[in-house]
Every structure is written in C-alpha cells, then in structure tokens.
Amino acid sequence: MAFYEPIDESTFASTADTAGPWSPDAQHGGPPSALLTRALETAAGGDGRRLARVAIDLLGPVPIAPLRVTTTILRPGRAVELVEAVAEANGRPVVAARGWRVARVPETTPGTGHGRPVGDDPAAGLDPATTGRAPAGGRGGVDVAEVEPADLPDRTPHVDMAGFRNDGFVGAVDWRFAKGGFSAMGPGLAWARTDQDLVAGEPMSPWQRAVIVADAGSGVSISNPPHRWPAINCDLVVALYRDPVGPWIGLDSRTDTRPGEGAHATTTILDAHGPVGAGLQSLLVRELPA
C-alpha cells in the first residue's frame, strides 16, 4: 500500500489514502507535503548536505488526482543550497515547497539542547512500539518516558464528529494519543506511524515520516469546535536539527488563537529519544452559523 503510485519519474497518481478527514475529494496536507519533501531531498546536488528546513505553502485544495512535481535549485552553493519543488494537478500549481539543504555540523562540534546526550547513538535507543520505556528527554516539562505508544491504546478510537471522515489519511496512520484527541479541544500529544510507502516501492526517509504527520499538528490541538470555528492551515514549516529514529513520530502541539487577530499551531516534533525539531502552521479561522 502507498499514498502515491508513480506514473513516471515526475508524475504520481494519488490513492484514496491521501484523502483528508473533511472531504473525500481533497487530500490531507500531509501526503503532498511529504511528496515535495521527497523532491527536495532527492534533487541533484545535495551531496554532503542535509535538509534543515522545509516551508510548504498549500495553494488550495489538493484534488485526489495525479500530481506532477518539478524541482528547481534557486540558490546553489557548496555549503548552503535553496531548493524549490512544486506540485501541479490538472495543469495548476496546488502545493509549493522550499527547502534549505545545509552542510552537516562537524562531528567535533559539542552537542547542545534537548534530546539524546552527546555521544549517544540514537540507533541504540528504545523503540516505543516494542519497549516499556523510552529514554527521557526534556520536552517543555513532559518526560518522553511518560508518553511512549506501547502504554497507549492500539489505535485512535472512531472520531464521532460531524463531517469527520475516519478513513483516508486518518485511517492509514496509527494514531496514539497521550493527551487530547482529534475530537478534544486544547493542546494534544500524539504519536503516529504508518506502514505504507509514500511512493509505492520506496520506504520513507526520516524527513518524509516527520513531514507526513506534522501537518496534523493543528488537528491534534484543535482550539475551538470545528463545526463552528473551523481552522485550516495554509502552510507548514518544519525544521529538524536531527533525523528522527524509528517508526514513531511524536507531535506535542498547541493552537493559539487571538480574537480579532490571528491563529497558529506550534508543534514540538519527537522520536523515542526526545525532540528532533519543530513545526509551525498559520491558520485561517472562520465563524459558521451556530
């Protein structure tokens, strides 16, 4: 199973599992964002550099239709390089992404910040799907050891919310909530994994696994009832300072809304060892009749 089937090197058929929770005809933002992340990673000229930040703009509803992806090197360089990828459907751009590919930090540089200790091999850590405890890591006051998926229900229960579709992308991902839920209001902490390929026949890269679920940050932390005040993100920015290890990606998310001004969702992105980076979404909020 896969979210996309390749038609040729640059064109991909969208499967039904890309569909979002609010319409069977429009894709969730996660799969096309991950597809463009794949294009940014694989564009020629990236030797010796890693993807450091991806900024994705959703230009409108993405139909369940073939997507044609093109890439352009906007700013070539030996140490820092800016790459752009655009997906078109039915002859019009629907998603655009820009990513900075940056030279890797020297191995001799002292490590700082949250996550694994300096010198600890992330591949030697614990898989939260199969073990009782994950290594502790600072996460805004919440210990990672408190939220591993092995201690949580197997899958998210059926979401009973008007207009919400439990199949498509939501059903193709294994969601386990440590706090909140898709039908709960307020900050949430969810772990997610999928056994599906992004593109049929290709395992997902760590970056692709993070981006495909990071677009759900605003859904993990819904701030107001969506049948009255729906909030739709028009972008997704993800910055990872290390590649996540293992199949599970954690989203520690909150949505902040200021009446008369704006709204956004912020997410700390995790793996079993602790934080790996952050996500940010700008939200369009509307008011519907009571």
For 130-155, the pLDDT digits (tens) are 333 333 333 344 454 444 676 677 66
Tokens representing residue 141 in the block: 């006051």
The structural domains of the chain, with segments of one domain joined by +, span 2-105+127-285
Instruction: Give the HSE-up count for residue 87: Cα atoms under 13 Å, Cβ half-sphere.
Output: 33
- In this prediction, residue 139 carries a pLDDT of 39
Whether residue 66 contacts residue 38, with contact meaning beta carbons closer than 8 Å, is answered with no
Q: Which band of pLDDT confidence, cut at 50, 70 and 90, is reported for residue 124?
A: very low
Reply yes or no on whether the pLDDT at 239 is more than 90.
yes
User: How confident is the model over 21-56, as pLDDT tens digits?
Assistant: 988 999 999 999 999 999 999 998 767 789 999 999
Whether residue 231 contacts residue 218, with contact meaning beta carbons closer than 8 Å, is answered with yes
Q: Which of 284, 276, 283, 281 is nearest to 55 (CA)?
A: 281
- In this prediction, residue 277 carries a pLDDT of 97
Specify the pairing of strand 80-89 against strand 11-14: unpaired
Q: Which band of pLDDT confidence, cut at 50, 70 and 90, is reported for residue 165?
A: confident
- In this prediction, residue 220 carries a pLDDT of 93
What architecture does CATH give domain 2-105+127-285?
A: Beta Barrel (2.40)
Tokens representing residue 228 in the block: 């009255």
Q: Which of 63, 31, 61 is nearest to 194 (CA)?
A: 31
Secondary structure of residue 104 in the 3-state scheme: coil
Reply yes or no on whether the pLDDT at 125 is more than 60.
no
Across the chain, mean pLDDT equals 85
Reply yes or no on whether the pLDDT at 118 is more than 50.
no
- The rounded Cα 290 to chain-centroid distance in angstroms is 32
Distance separating alpha carbons of residues 290 and 228, to the nearest angstrom:
6
